[in-house]
Structure 1
C-alpha cells in the first residue's frame, strides 16, 4: 500500500476528482516523454522522496487523529436510575378525570401460629378538581389478613387454614383477632364540605389542585417553591433546617402531579446528598418497584409497653418504574425482635392499583356507615 492508498483509506469521504482534472491527467500520461539530461544526484532524490513520504504519512495520521474523537471515560451519575426514570416519564401524557381517587392499604407484618401474615386496613380518598365539591373519605377499620409469602401460606394451610387468629397483646388486656379474608370490613365514610378543595395529605403543606397545577418544573423555581413549603413547615412548630426538610417532600410524589412535574421533582431529589438508590424490589402488593432511601428519618415501634420492648425501623420509598409515582412506603427492622428479623419489612402504606383519575363519583358501598 503506497501513500496515496493510505490517504484514500484515511479519508474515505473525500470527493472524487472532477472530469476536467481526470482529462488533464490522462493527457499528461499519453504525452511523449521529454528527455532531460541525467543528473547524478540519485541519493538526493531518494532522501527527498523518503522525507516526502514520511511527511505525507505524518499528515495522514494527524488527520485521522483529528477526525476520530478520543474515547472519553464517562463516570455514571450518582442515583443514575432516578435520572433515567425522570427522563422516561417526563413525556408521558397527563391523566384526566373529575375525581382523583387514592386507595391506600395500611399494613403490618406479624408472626403468629408459626407463620407470618400481613394485617391491613383500607382507606379511600376522593378529591374533586372542583374546590366546591366535598372531599370524601372511606375507611375500613377492621384489619384483615393474608399469609405474607407462599411459604407462609403453606404453613397456614398446614395449620388448618384458620379464618381468625388472636393477635399477641399485653397481659391483662383483651387481645384482638384478625380475620383471614379478602373483603375489607367495618366501613365508614365522611363527606367533608369544609375542606375547601384542600388535599388530605398535608405533610408538606396545605395544597389544593390549583397549587399542584402550578407546581414548577424548572429546577431553580422548584427549589424556591420547596423553600416556601419549608416556611410552612416551620410555622407548624418544626425547626428542622431546609436540608433536613427536603426528604419530607418525597410525599409530593404520592399526589396527582403531572408526569413532567413528577420528573422535575425526582431529578431534584436525586441530586440531594441524602438520596441513595437501593435497587429493584417487590412491593407489599407484589409489584416491581425501585427502592430509594431519600434520607427520611426512621421510627420506633413499641411492641411491649409492659417490658419496654421497642423496635427501631428505617424507611424506604418504593417508586413505580413506569410512572415515578409512589407505590409504597415501607419500614424495615433494624434488628431482630419478637416478631421480626433484621431487614424484614415491618409496616407499610401502599397505593392500590385502582388509584388514579376517574370520571366516576364517589359512592359509599351498601352498609357503609356515615361519620359526622
Structure 2
C-alpha cells in the first residue's frame, strides 16, 4: 500500500483517477523521496520527512480538487477595465429622449474652498438663441452670451456643430476613425501628442448630447486605451456612487496654481455619462478642484437671464 492507496481510502467520494494522473502522482512522490547528491550522505531526518509529506499533501490537494472541478475562467473575466465594457453593454440598450430645443446642464464646481454653479443652454440649431452660460457665485452671477453659429461651445476635442455631434457614428471602428481625424487637426496645428495621448480627450463625449450607442462605443474605445485605469466604485463630491476612472497617463494633468494634479472621472453607473471630474494633488492626493454634473438633458424651455445677473456678450 502506498500514499495513493491511503488517499483513495480517505477520499472515497473522489472521482477515479486516470492512469496518466496516477503515474504522474507516483512520480512526484518518488522524486521527493529520492536522495540528493551532497557532500554528506542524505539521511532520513525530519527535513527529508517534510519533503515527502509535502509531496503527499500536494497529491491530496490534486485529488481533492478533482472531486470538485473548478469553474472555467472566461477570457472576458481577465480583460483589463472590464467594468467599462460591462457599462458600455448596459448603455447601448438605453432609450433616451432625443428631442428638445436646448441641451441644458447644471454643474457645481469647487476650488480652494469656494463653490459656484454653472447653467448652460446650447441650442440644437443655429437659428435659435445663442449659447447661454450662467455662472453663479455666492452673491453674484454672470451670464455669457456666445454666438457660435450652432457649434458646440467646448473645443477641447474638436470643433463640430450640434448637427455633427448628433450624427457621430455609433460603430466603434467608424467612431475611432473620426477621433483620429480630430487628432490630425490638432497635430497639424502643432500639438505633437500621439493619438494614444490625445485619446483621453474623447472622454468629453460622455458629457455631450450623443446617442447612447455612441456613448457605448466611446466607453469601449477608452477601455482599450493604454492609459485608462478603473479604480472601482467611489463616492463623488456630491455623495453619489460612481465608477472611478483615470483616462490620462501619469503626469499629464498639469498644474492648478503651483500644484501638480491628476484628474479622475466619476461615471454614472446607470447611463455612462460623467458624474464628476476631480483634480487630485499628485503629492498628497487631496482634492484641489472638482466639477460635478447636477442635472442635464434636452429641454424646450427658453432660458431667461435672471434679474441682477451681469450680461456679457
Regarding TM over 0.5, the answer is yes
- Tell me the residue number matched to 1:180: none
Is contact 1:138-1:187 (8 Å) kept? Answer: no
The runs of 5 or more residues in structure 1 that have no matched partner are 1-69, 111-117, 145-184, 303-309, 336-341
Partner of 2:101: 98
1:123 to 106, 118, 121: 118
Report the Cα offset of residue 72 of structure 1.
Answer: 3.1
User: Which residue in 2 is equivalent to 1:107?
Assistant: 110
Separation of aligned partners in 2, 1:311 and 1:129: 38
2:301 paired residue number:
360
Q: Report if the CA contact (8 A) 2:261-2:282 is conserved.
A: yes
**What is aligned with 2:270?**
322
Deviation readout 1:244-281 (Å, 9 max, x if unpaired): 11111111111111111101110111011211101111
Alignment length (residue pairs) = 240
Determine helix, strand or coil for the equivalent of 2:303.
Answer: coil
Q: Deviations over 1:323-343 (max 9, x none)?
A: 1011111111222xxxxxx12
Q: What is residue 5 of structure 2 aligned with on the other side? A: none
Per-residue deviation, residues 188-217 of structure 1 (Å, max 9, x unmatched): 22333x311001111000121211122112
SS at match of 2:140: strand
Counterpart Cα distance in 1 of 2:191 and 2:281:
26
Where structure 2 has 5 or more consecutive residues not aligned to the other structure, the ranges are: 1-69
Shift of 1:371: 1.4
SS at match of 1:363: coil
- CA deviation after TM superposition for structure 1 residue 237, in Å: 3.0
Aligned pairs (5 A) from 1:1-372: 72-75=72-75, 76=77, 77-95=79-97, 96-108=99-111, 110=112, 118-140=113-135, 142=137, 144=138, 185-192=139-146, 194-295=147-248, 297-302=252-257, 310-335=258-283, 342-353=284-295, 355-372=296-313
Change (3 A) 1:206 1:319: same
Cα separation, 2, equivalents of 1:260 and 1:364: 35
**Alpha-carbon contact 2:166-2:209 (below 8 Å) kept:** no
CA distance in 1, matches of 2:120, 2:185: 24
CA contact (8 A) 2:133 2:145 kept: no
Partner Cα separation in structure 2 for residue 226 and residue 320 of structure 1: 23
Q: Pick the structure with greater CA Rg.
A: 1
Distance 1:240 1:90, change over 3 A: same
- Taking structure 2 as the reference length, the TM-score comes to 0.72
Q: For the residues of structure 2 that align with 1:362 and 1:235, how far apart are their CA atoms?
A: 38
What is the match of residue 161 of structure 1?
none
CA distance in 2, matches of 1:89, 1:220: 18
Report runs of 4+ in structure 1 exceeding 6 Å deviation: none
